[in-house]
Amino acid sequence: MNKNKFKVAVLCGGFEPESYASNLTGWNVLKALKNAGFVKSFKLNVDKDIVKNLQINKPDFAFLTTFCKWGEDGVIQGLLETLNIPYSGSGVEASSLCKNKFLFNRFVCGCGLYSPENYFYGNRFDYVKCDKKIIKIPCIVKAVYQGYSLGTSLVKNIKQLNQACNVAFKFSTKITIEEYIVGREFTVGIIDIYKSKNHFEKLVLPLIEIKFRGAHAIQSSLVKDNPDLMKEIIPAKILSNEVNKLKKQSLILYEKLGCLGVARFDVRQFRKNKEFYFLENNTCPGILNYKQSDLPKQLKSFNISLEMYVEQMIKVGINRPENKLEQYL
């Protein structure tokens, strides 16, 4: 790979509420690529003209920094595979599975790990028909297909439930209502390091513990927009055996999901049984800045620069394992 000639298209923007964060992440990735020697890197907005623009510009690689629809849900990944353009991050299946918060929740349980109990999953019509008596308060209401905690609410009494669901429906056609896990919250970051063709070393980055301030108890979009409302401790101050347990479980889930390149798990340790409950998985973590975004903090604490990170993402992406039929003959 000749860096001076290797064309990297940074795909960002889009038409979702997180487009501003995607654009900022795109600029930061583009800067890191230029600093790493990929001088022919450029940005492309993910819009209705994305197919035409990819065909015109003919990139050697697509670095994905688009969030939600057409970014993290497997759609853009499928398009790039159709166009035979290597790309960063997880593939179609893992991306679409992790983007759906309910399906991710069920997948975790299927792997023998812990995830919150689910009370409801569906659209407005399903919600009107559902038996509200099965919903235990307090609970968490989530917009199924959104990121950045948009449409996510902690419901503390039954009067707040309909209001929280109406907010969630503004961001997604389907919502999920799940058990509220009382306990400590952690963020687990995992990246792949390229070693040789089809061989990557999975590196678990230092854990982050999130402590909320005041009346705040979850990572709502309000809290994420105001970093002063929470405190992050890195590395997390938990027992070494608990660190090892959480890292092991995260690696198992990362591999079972088929994630590639990078992923960031949101986890809570239940106060009652001390078990770790996996809440969500972000397959395209934002890189806004070192104050708001978890991944840059974790990379920095492990002495990995953004330049090193983007280069590893490219090396892993262009050596993506292929599931060829002849492997099984």
Give the DSSP letter string of 166-187: HHHHTT-S-EEEEE---EEEEE
Q: Smallest Cα–Cα separation from 65: which of 76, 50, 79, 81? A: 76
* pLDDT value at residue 275: 97
Structure tokens at 186: 């952690």
The domain defined by 96-113+181-318 folds into: D-amino Acid Aminotransferase; Chain A, domain 1 (3.30.470)
The domain ranges of the chain are 8-87, 96-113+181-318, 118-179
Q: At what angle do helices 101-110 and 240-257 cross, to 10 degrees?
A: 110
The whole-number pLDDT of residue 220 equals: 67
The per-residue pLDDT for 168 is 94
Identify the CA nearest to 104 among candidates 228, 276, 277.
277
List per-residue pLDDT tens for the chain, 329 residues long. 889 999 999 999 987 777 888 899 999 999 999 999 999 999 999 999 999 999 999 999 999 999 877 888 899 999 999 999 999 999 999 999 999 999 999 999 999 999 999 999 999 999 999 999 999 999 999 999 887 778 899 999 999 999 999 999 999 999 999 999 999 999 999 999 998 777 889 999 999 999 987 767 777 676 776 777 788 899 999 999 999 999 999 999 999 999 999 999 999 999 999 999 999 999 999 898 777 788 999 999 899 999 999 999 999 999 988 654 444 44
Q: Which CATH number fits domain 8-87: 3.30.70.260, 3.40.50.20, 1.10.1040.10, 3.40.50.300?
A: 3.40.50.20
Burial of 78 (0-12, 13-18, 19+ CB in 10 A): middle
Question: Is beta strand 118-122 parallel, antiparallel or unpaired with respect to 153-155?
Answer: unpaired
Dihedral angle sign, alpha carbons of residues 176, 181, 185, 191: negative
Is there a contact between 137 and 155 (Cβ–Cβ < 8 Å)? yes
- Cβ 167 vs Cβ 251: under 8 Å: no
How far apart, in whole angstroms, are the C-alpha atoms of residue 77 and residue 283?
Answer: 12
Angle subtended at Cα 30 by Cα 25 and Cα 34, rounded to the nearest 5 degrees: 150
Q: Shortest CA distance to 175 belongs to which of 160, 153, 148? A: 153
Nearest alpha-carbon partner for 9 in 64, 78, 81, 71: 64
pLDDT of residue 231: 87
Q: Which residues pair with 176 in a beta bridge?
A: 121, 142
Cβ burial of 273 (10 Å; 0-12, 13-18, 19+) is: exposed
Class of domain 118-179: alpha beta
